Amino acid sequence: MEHRPTIAITMGDPAGIGPEVIVKALGDPQLRRRARYVIYGMNELLAYAADVAEFDPFWWRDSPRGPRSYPHDVVVIDYDDYSILGSSIREPSKVGGEASMRFCVDAIEAARRGVVDAVVTAPIAKESWHLAGYNYPGHTELFAERTQAREWCMMFAGGPIRVALATVHVGLNAIWNQLNIGAIYRPIMLLNSALRDWFDIANPRIAVCGLNPHAGENGAFGDEEERLIKPAMLMARDQGVDCRGPYPADTVFLKARDGAFDAVVAMYHDQGLIPVKLLGFDSSVNLTLGLPIIRTSPDHGTAFDIVGRNRANPGSMRAAISMAIDLANRRRGREADAGAADDTIRGGPASDVIAPKSNGEDSLDVGEPGGPSPAPDAPR
């Protein structure tokens, strides 16, 4: 039987559209058949979203008991010590920040221990995190810190283009304090590796945006292109990377859309995200590069204004889950290839091949006595 990875999904801010897009995405039987899922969230909100969207519950329920595996296709880790009806709040809150942080931290720990193969995060409200006392600008920085990633960046894949960012969640007036040669070199290198390893592009062609209008126009509108961007590109080229530019940001994405480049490095958040969302809002995926674990997310926010109205489009969440599955399978394939190579060299079984989590035909060992209970009307 074909291997099915285990994907963790965090529900995001309880008052946002996370429950709705998760239920709608996993309501697709084809997507459910491709993997197993552990949802870190709140059963009452998922059940409410399913009722509004006219889905029968398709999951089992368990309480938070530390990272463990399950023999079920979909399990909700229910943080029922938080009681919140998202449709009645529809705004950032301290309790929303506390809950969504717990979902993330526990999912990250499960991924670090190998209990799950990837993590997909539904949108959080940064203001909720701040109200709860957490000063992370977003998911990306939390994941980087918790996994002790030395180098990381945000990448977006949506529609016909892929984009990585040199700076992330900073105000425009703070970009000049963060943008340096290393900050530009890092996403070029991480993007080049991702295109080869994750997207099967043997010789990636990477375009690099300028920071200033017309990419500075030879210093007429700023010197960052000459002083920062070109030296970073030269360093990347010395490592064999095919990176070109810097190009004016108002035209380079058209060239990438038409196939001239495989991906683009943008200097700041909106420079890269506007074209991504314009060309593929309902199919774009955020992928964090440089982590030791796989993490994807949809490209939209909490959308408090439409919570409880059954209007949230699950396309981006579905794409994020699908990408997580693809990347988990590719990682497993590479590990199997590495094990086979070791086996050939040593003349015997490779001792460092990761043992499969399955016990028997497509079932998972439960790490503690006592199993989860089915959600109301869950399949038995």
User: Which pLDDT tens digit goes with each residue over 179-211?
Assistant: 999 999 999 999 999 999 999 999 999 999 999
- Alpha carbons 100 and 92: distance in angstroms, whole number: 11
Residues 248 and 298 grouped into a single domain: no
Residues 258 and 317 grouped into a single domain: no
- Alpha carbons 182 and 2: distance in angstroms, whole number: 42
User: Which pLDDT tens digit goes with each residue over 208-219?
Assistant: 999 999 987 887
The answer to whether 27 touches 131, Cβ cutoff 8 Å, is no
Domains in the chain, number: 2
Residues 2 and 138 grouped into a single domain: yes
Q: What is the CATH number of the domain that holds 162?
A: 3.40.718.10
Average pLDDT over residues 358-371: 36
Report which residue type is found at 282: D
Residues 58 and 89 grouped into a single domain: yes
pLDDT of residue 352: 35
Residues 201 and 342 grouped into a single domain: no
Residues 337 and 215 grouped into a single domain: no
> Which of 348-351's residues contact partners 24+ apart within 8 Å by CB, and which partners?
none
| pLDDT-wise least confident of 55-59, 73-77, 272-276, 361-365 | 361-365
Residues 318 and 225 grouped into a single domain: no
- Alpha carbons 365 and 68: distance in angstroms, whole number: 8
Confidence at 366, pLDDT banded by 50, 70, 90 = very low
Residues 72 and 94 grouped into a single domain: yes
Widest distance between CA atoms in the chain: 69
Report which residue type is found at 347: G
Which of 265, 283, 301 corresponds to the end of one domain?
283
Residues 200 and 328 grouped into a single domain: no
Confidence at 371, pLDDT banded by 50, 70, 90 = very low
- Alpha carbons 152 and 132: distance in angstroms, whole number: 25
Residues 119 and 171 grouped into a single domain: no
Residues 179 and 139 grouped into a single domain: no
The answer to whether 53 touches 20, Cβ cutoff 8 Å, is yes
User: Which pLDDT tens digit goes with each residue over 299-338?
Assistant: 899 999 999 899 999 999 999 999 999 999 999 888 777 7
Other C-beta atoms lying within 10 Å of the C-beta of residue 7: 29
Average pLDDT over residues 242-251: 96
User: Which pLDDT tens digit goes with each residue over 1-31?
Assistant: 578 999 999 999 999 999 999 999 999 999 9
pLDDT of residue 69: 78
Range of the domain at 260: 151-283
Which of 283, 315, 338 corresponds to the end of one domain?
283
Which of 262, 283, 304 corresponds to the end of one domain?
283
Helix axes 43-52, 18-26, angle to 10 degrees: 70
How high is the mean pLDDT of the chain? Answer: 88
Number of helices and strands (H, E) in the chain?
A: 14, 13
Residues 296 and 173 grouped into a single domain: no
Q: Which token pair is 283?
A: 């199919």
Q: Are strands 205-209 and 263-266 parallel, antiparallel or unpaired?
A: parallel
